[in-house]
A and B are shown apart, each in its own frame.
Chain A
Amino acid sequence: MHPVLRLDQVVKTYGTHRAVDEVSFAVPPATLFGLLGPNGAGKTSLIRIITAITRADSGNVYLNGDRLAGRHPQSIGYMPEERGLYKRMKVFDHLMYLARLKGLSKSFADEQINHWMDKFDIQDWGTKKVEELSKGMQQKIQFIATVMHQPKLLILDEPFSGLDPINTNLIKDEIHQLKESGTSIIFSTHRMEQVEAICEHIVLINQGRNILEGKLQDIKDTFKDNLFEVIYKGSLPPGLGDQFRITERSDHRVVIQLEEGKHSGALLQYMVNNQVQVTSFQEILPTLNDIFIKQVEASNTTLPEEMNL
């Protein structure tokens, strides 16, 4: 099966500034895909190339296996970070206008708008003017505008900025449902904890370059330090430090770093054999935040080779 989206050596230069520098990655179908990077890394430039708002200087973009040529608003739903609505328009008219611009028929658009307004429980808002709505409410309208044409690929740029926790969860649920029904979602942000909670697949962009790409789980495995946390009752055998490397030690908690290639079972076996009452045994994986900061700093100082996993 083709990836929904594939970028191949995409380059975009503004003046002397290389905003996108030979970026390649692929978005598999029905995936939550995180597009990460610090501010100014080139995320928005990249998205504008994918949505064909701007054209790449070189390299190719493939959408469902076909080379990108011209616009395709029907197959992509894009919610920009800087988003707004016509303040004086009525909510329903506004959604209808955006739907028609995306090429939807009147009756289908009508059906979709009603479906989503029912879903968000805002049927009464159709005749209100946009300027009468709260910011969170406007975000919901923008979300509807992004998904109502049932695109195969959604691009959400900082979708939760300005949303309260309740609405954040509401949108999160919708994102998951869309994913279940086969939509791929590119989720662009610099908020790591959100990515960690949502995404299965990530690409990390810094200074226009792709510095890390892969499945979230694989990346974590690669960057793990073989740290294991043991919580226990009673006392530890005195010879533990000779057998294993202890990195942290506190009351009834110890963190041990295993040598490369050593099985975690050996540690557990040792504990059991020495009558330690283990209440919890867990591998400590690096947070995405740690990986992100480490990688961004590394690439800023050394400009390393591309690290594709």
Chain B
Amino acid sequence: MQTLLLIIRREYLSRVTRRSFILGTLLTPLAFAALIAIVGVIFQYESDQTQRIAILDEGNVLKGVIKDENNLYFSFEEGPLDTLRKNLPETDYDALLYLPAIDDLMSNRLRAYYYSDDQPTPDVELMLRDRISGAVRDYKIDALNIERRQLEALDTRIELEPEPLTDNGADATRFTSAIAAAIGLGMGFIMYLTVFIYGVMVMRSVMEEKTSRIVEVMISSVKPFQLMLGKIIGVGGVGLTQVAVWAVLIPLLAGLAQLIFGIDPSNNPMLDSQSADFNPDDTQAMISMAMAEVASINWWMVLPLFILYFLGGFFIYSSLFAAVGSAIGDDTGEGQALTIPITIPVILALYIMIAVIQAPNSSLATWSSIFPLFSPIVMPARLAFGPPTWEVIVSLLVMIGFSLFLIWFAGRIYRVGILMYGKRASFKEIAKWLFVRE
């Protein structure tokens, strides 16, 4: 036990104190923040072009309704259209907006004219259409003598609210599945990446020990199994450390970046007009509902389970990688073929995870979250959907059992592999190693 702790300590500290680890751990969240900042700057960039627009408003529809905003300045002009058009180049206006008088109140089409040598930019066009449409609507309401509240009452929004049939079913709202899918995708993807990155890290380290021949020295003091287990646990600790740092720093820095350079949805005309069928209050409501939804997920369950699956997945794959690393030995080049049988299930699991998010209660979801090579990636993606408890328990038990088996299995291969030099072993030879006596 003392020995194992010493090995874990060295494997952990030697990596965590490495400059590349510290830089990678700190720079990745910074890169995220920088990305958000840059995107924010790009989104804001459009609005720094000042435009002055003259308006000829024949029907007096726009007066008092359209206002200067976002570097767009309006002023109303009088007079015949032709004169205004002809004189426009001599004035400091960039464009002339002409809205003819509304003849037919019952028509749902109206044409406005934008005179300029330059095309209106998409955001200016969207913004103008939106403002004109709003103004015409108000004008028609007045002209047709309609009660505004009656009109609003006609526009009924339907919300389909999922309700549990039995008392112990999960209470969901209409956002549940979308939020759960987003969280699931994030978790599944983090699992996929970490299993890969740290599994390969274990493999590299085993190969390095073999190539540098330190393993012979080590083996004279410790058992091969202790060395392998110590390495796997140590590297796993490194992985948890990195994920934990990222879990704190990425949201923090991203939030900070958003605060400083951020995209404020309310002054983005593109976003506004595209979702013209709901007003800003609705957006606010949606965000707060989504937040409530995120908060309503049982994080006290999800996070510990996520860590359990992380550990399980990590142990399963890194012990496989360790076994392969011990069999590859000196020649790093041609040994890659041995890693293929490990990478295939990881990649399959990623695709299954993506499919499962769309159908979290399908039989594919059930079976793949019990099969231990897939479950560490698939199950975390399902956690936010509130999978049945029995499935989680079975999946956990199978995974823990399988990872214990694989650690033993990898240890059998490892103890022979690390003392073999020269050519890499074939699968047949590796299979023989399993039954070699110590």
Give A residues with C-beta under 8 Å from B: 14-15, 48, 51, 53-55, 57, 71, 73, 76, 78-80, 82-89, 97-98, 100-103, 142, 145
CB of B219 closer than 8 Å to a CB of A: yes
| A-B CB pair tally, cutoff 8 Å | 61
Select one of B18, B212, B220 contacting A53, CB under 8 A: B220
Q: When A82-B421, A83-B216, A101-B3 are in contact, do A88 and B221 touch as well, CB less than 8 Å?
A: no
Task: Tell me which residues across on chain B come within 8 A of A142, comparing CB atoms.
Answer: 217
Which residues on B sit within 8 Å (CB–CB) of A78?
220
Q: Which residues of A contact B222 (CB under 8 A)?
A: 73, 101
Task: Establish whether residues A80 and B217, one from each chain, have CB atoms under 8 Å apart when the complex forms.
Answer: yes
Question: Chain B residue with minimal CB distance to A12?
Answer: B437
15 cross-chain CB contacts under 8 A: A51-B220, A73-B221, A80-B216, A82-B216, A82-B421, A83-B217, A84-B215, A84-B216, A85-B214, A86-B14, A86-B209, A89-B14, A97-B10, A102-B221, A145-B217
**A145–B223 alpha-carbon span in the complex (Å):** 17
Q: What's the least CB distance linking B5 to chain A, in Å?
A: 10
Given contact pairs A71-B223, A101-B222, A85 touches B437 in the complex (Cβ within 8 A): no
Chain A residues with Cβ below 8 Å from B2 are 103
On chain B, the residues within 8 Å of A103 by CB distance are: 2
Which of B216, B217, B221, B421 lies at the interface centre, i.e. has the most chain A CB atoms within 10 A of its CB?
Answer: B221
B438 at the interface (CB under 8 A from A): yes
Q: CA separation between A100 and B215, bound complex, in Å?
A: 16
Q: What does the 1/0 interface line of B213-234 toward A look like (CB < 8 Å)?
A: 1111111111100000000000
Give CA–CA (A281, B106) in the complex, Å: 138
Hey, which chain A residues are within 8 Å of B223, CB to CB?
71
**Which of B215, B218, B221, B437 is the one whose CB lies under 8 Å from A55?**
B437
Q: Separation in Å of the A53 CB from the closest CB of chain B?
A: 6
Question: With A and B bound together, what is the CA distance between A213 and B259 in angstroms?
Answer: 83
Quick check: is B101 within 8 A (CB to CB) of the other chain?
no
**Contacts A85-B212, A101-B3; is A53 near B217 (CB within 8 Å)?**
no
State how many residues of chain B have any CB contact under 8 Å with chain A. Answer: 26
Q: Which chain B positions have C-beta within 8 A of A54?
A: 438
**Residues of B with C-beta under 8 A to A79:** 217
8 A Cβ contacts from B198-248 to A: 209, 212-223
Distance A145 CA – B216 CA, assembled complex (angstroms): 13
Closest B residue to A149 by CB, please name it.
Answer: B221
Q: Is B178 an interface residue (CB 8 A)?
A: no
Chain B, range 8-56, C-beta contacts under 8 Å to A? 10, 14, 18
Chain B residues contacting A83 (CB-CB under 8 Å) are: 213-214, 216-217
- In the bound assembly, the distance between CA atoms of A186 and B432 in angstroms comes to 32
In the assembly, what is the distance between CA of A18 and CA of B18, in Å? 45
> In the bound complex, what is the Cα–Cα distance between A15 and B14 (angstroms)?
39
- Residues A101 and B218 in contact, CB atoms below 8 Å apart: yes
Min Cβ gap B101→A in Å is 82
- Determine how close the nearest CB of chain A comes to the CB of B35; give it in whole angstroms: 32
Q: How far is the CA of A289 from the CA of B10 in the complex (A)?
A: 45
- Within the assembled complex, what's the spacing in Å between the Cα atoms of A142 and B212? 13
Q: How far is the CB of A93 from chain B (nearest CB, A)?
A: 9
B429 and chain A: residue at smallest CB distance: A15
- Chain B positions 399-438 with a Cβ under 8 Å from a chain A Cβ: 419, 421, 432, 436-438
